[in-house]
Structure 1
Amino acid sequence: MAYKGSGKLDTLASLYAKLEEKDSVFKRKIDLIISNNGPGSCLLRLMQISHECNNFPSKLCDIFMEKYQEIDPRLKFYSFNINDILINVTLEDVLFITGLPIDGKPVISDTGYDEGAFLSIFGIDKKVLYITELADIACGQEPDDRRIYAILLIVIVSIVAPTGDGHVCRSSYVQFIKNLDDVNNYAWGAALLSFLYRGMRRYKTEEKKFVDGNTWVLLSFMLFHIPKLQQELQIDLTVQPPTPLLFSVVNSLEKIGRDHYSRYVPKVTALLNSLDATDIKWHPYTREMLPAMVQEQISFTTRLSPLFCLNYVEHHLPHLLAPDSPLTCACTHMGMCIVGDLEYMFVVCSYLACHWRHLVSCHYRIVLHFFGTD
């Protein structure tokens, strides 16, 4: 299955249920942290996303991925092309769908592994840990801080940066959760978006077997921006704020995921092939859909413009551009979005974070180009 990484929601659901079974006192502590927007709550909240046996609707995602095409061969720019309507997942979508912050400190690691990282928080001298090992720590008799570290790492590899090449967690993520009071200050949503774009591009250009990244977010994006899809699939995306929209999507698509005959494929394909611009809902979100703790981040969203040169930015080395990029010399810190006669200037970091002060302090030189779609 090309979307094995997105199947890790079951891991979270199983962990949440196991905590209730083995240590209800500790689980209540986690729930209290979430309800009070305490340290790490932006990630911990996503533990509540689902129940076990979530069936990812692979055939539905296949339909959308067929629309992910190379638009400009010179720039190697990819976009979802639906009847010459170009649409892409943006920071705004990730913010509203997941509730993860898109503004903050960048999630950047200079190396794939961090020597001694697991040793420092768990007393385990390894470069990688299996998710099952982390789950054992979370449900064991370790100090509470260690158990919370384990849960946060599981959320990262299940929601923010899921891959299809194994249920493992690399030690490089430890630096971002080691200080629990600082976890909410990272731009986890921007990290998720960058990882997803990189995964989709590599799937198309390198013939990878799996799409790395959270493709549940892609499905959510399509369903909210194309309401006719909800009608065709006969699903109801009822939103109950402050629950992230992703919760509703996962639950609503459960029946679709169980349809192993994929009887919906011909109708959905025909619908997309007949779509025009008036069928796109460009602004499907309202402030009330967001958890209160991230509502202030609305000012950092991009509404209609995809991150244009994200394809050239490696998620773990964002200050490096692809050597064959024709835009390497056109570096800038500012992104421009032109929609109709309006010109919006905003600070966006396409490489995992969109924090202006951090960009300036770190002297990163990133190409940010945006393409209007309305």
Structure 2
Amino acid sequence: MLAALVERWRPETHTFVLPIGEVTVTLEDVVHIFGLPIDGEAVSGWTDSSAEFVQSQGIAIFGREPSVSGNAKSYIKLGWVRRIRDAELLDTNESIRRYVRCHIFCLLGSTLFTDKSTAYAHAKYLPLLHDFERIHTYSWGSACLAHLYRALCRASRYDTKEMDGPLNLLFVWAWERMPCLSPVPRQTLLPAEIPVAMR
């Protein structure tokens, strides 16, 4: 299914060209499927790939120096973050915040902004997790959709063999919008709830 969708992706218009016409994943779909906010501050900032940046940001967010990729020092191992998260005692407000930051970072790296390895997440997202009260004010849904569009544009090139990006969003969107792909009869599903991906 992924290969069939990528073949029909047009980078010029960011749409799938199907026999029925042009269709695409929209911001409304992101809200409906993932329940992510699409209003708010842009998910942006500067990227510093230095070891000092990754170390200082990791200590500020996780409370210890992060375990990074051997190839690219700016990528943090998600397995390490999960172990840190699961070891939190949750006995103070700060430990609860560290737990939530670790969980959000894992979601960013494994669901919203995945790369082809799915084992690492870029350290550029760490500054966005600093101010605990502002995390929910970012437009995560817009950034996720932009990441999907970028991944589809890259995958549509003739020399690309793999695709990264928020594939769960694409698969649930196809399942919702193209009933012929649905493996489960819709009448046997739980009542619709937001986000739809939970079903």
The reply on whether 1:91 has 2:32 as its aligned counterpart is no
What amino acid is aligned across from residue 41 of structure 2 in structure 1?
K
Residue number in structure 2 paired with 1:148 = 100
Pair 1:240–1:64, CA change in 2 (3 A): same
> Where do residues 134-283 of structure 1 align in structure 2 (5 Å cutoff)?
134-141=81-88, 143-205=95-157, 207-230=159-182, 233-236=183-186, 238-248=189-199
Distance in 2, matches of 1:113 and 1:172, equals 8
Structure 2: distance between partners of 1:191 and 1:158: 15
Counterpart-to-counterpart distance in 2, 1:209 and 1:113? 27
Letter in 1 for 2:104: L
1:141 and 1:219, CA in 2 relative to 1: closer, same or farther beyond 3 A? Answer: closer
- Structure 1 residue 206: Cα displacement: 6.4
- Relative distance call for 1:239 and 1:185 in structure 2 (3 A) is farther
Q: Structure 1 residues 149, 206: CA separation in 2 closer, same or farther (over 3 Å shift)?
A: farther
- TM-score, reference length from structure 2: 0.80
2:46 counterpart letter in structure 1? D
The DSSP-based 3-state class of the residue aligned with 1:80 is strand
C-alpha contact (below 8 Å) 2:6/2:155 kept by paired residues? no
Q: Distance in 1 between matches of 2:16 and 2:178?
A: 13
CA gap of 1:147–1:99, structure 2 versus 1, over 3 A, is same
C-alpha distance after superposition, 1:112-160 (max 9, x if no partner): 5371211222231663320111011001146332222211100111121
| Runs of 4+ residues over 4 Å off in structure 1 | none
**Are the equivalent residues in 1 in contact too, given 2:85–2:103 (CA < 8 A)?**
yes
Q: Matches of residues 9-20 of structure 1 in structure 2 within 5 Å? A: none
Does the 8 Å contact 1:112/1:170 carry over to 2?
no
User: Between Structure 1 and Structure 2, how many residues are aligned?
Assistant: 182
CA RMSD of aligned residues (A): 2.3
Show the counterpart of 1:68. 9
Map Cα deviations across residues 237-273 of structure 1 (whole Å, 9 max, x no partner): 735454410122xxxxxxxxxxxxxxxxxxxxxxxxx
CA distance in 2, matches of 1:168, 1:241: 33
Q: Partners of 2:88 and 2:181 in 1: how far apart?
A: 47
Q: Aligned partners of 2:18, 2:107: CA distance in 1, in Å?
A: 32
Kindly name which structure, 1 or 2, has the bigger radius of gyration based on alpha carbons: 1
In structure 2, the residue matched to 1:109 is 45
1:198–1:85 Cα change, 3 Å: same
Structure 2: which 5+ runs fail to align? 69-73, 90-94
Q: Which amino acid aligns with 2:86?
A: C
TM value normalised by structure 1: 0.45
Q: CA deviation at 1:211?
A: 1.4
Work out which of the residue numbers 124, 128, 131 in structure 1 matches 2:65: 124
- In structure 2, what is the Cα distance between the partners aligned to 1:78 and 1:181? 34
Structure 1 counterpart of 2:195, one-letter code: P
Structure with more contact order per residue of length (Cα contacts < 8 Å, sep ≥ 6): 2
Q: Aligned in 2, Cα 1:195/1:206: closer, same or farther, shift over 3 Å? A: farther
Contact 1:117 1:172 in 2 (8 A): no
Residue pairs, 1:306-317, within 5 angstroms:
none
Cα pair distance change 1:167/1:137, threshold 3 Å: same
| 1:153 partner letter | F
2:80 corresponds in structure 1 to: 133
Structure 1 runs not aligned, ≥5 long:
1-59, 71-75, 249-374
Task: Note if contact 1:239-1:245 (Cα within 8 Å) is conserved in structure 2.
Answer: no
